[in-house]
Amino acid sequence: MDVGILIIPDGDDALDYYVVLEEQIALRDAVDLPHAAALLVGLIFALNIDYPKKLRYTFEVIQKIFIDLGDPAMYPALFIQAVMMSSQKV
């Protein structure tokens, strides 16, 4: 499944942000990149879609640490696991 944020230039110094799920534009006109990222994570979580394999640990860290969903006792282990996985070549 392809997910992501599509950024399209719109005139001088203006950008349009689109949230893409399963190769289709799911949301249009996000205000900025952090807002688009939050919308992407929220959609994946709300629709109960599996995280992409290559970005699984990144999305889990965002979900459990930054959005505060999950068991706080797991944060240190999850952070260490994400750092170790990101340092490995894919």
How high is the pLDDT of residue 18?
94
Is a pLDDT exceeding 80 seen at residue 21?
yes
Q: Are residues 45 and 78 in the same domain?
A: no
How high is the pLDDT of residue 86?
67
Helix (H, G, I), strand (E, B) or coil at 72: helix
Res. 1 pLDDT band, cuts 50 70 90: low
Name the H helices within the chain.
33-46, 56-61, 75-87
Instruction: Please report how many Cα atoms fall inside a 13 Å half-sphere around the Cα of residue 3, on the Cβ side.
Output: 20
**66 vs 41: CA distance, rounded Å:** 11
pTM of the model: 0.66
pLDDT digits (tens, 9 = 90+) for 41-88: 888 878 888 888 888 888 877 777 776 666 555 556 666 766 676 666
Query: Is-contact 41 23, C-beta < 8 A?
Result: no
Which structural domain, as residue segments, surrounds residue 6? 1-50
Q: Are residues 34 and 8 in the same domain?
A: yes
Is a pLDDT exceeding 90 seen at residue 19?
yes
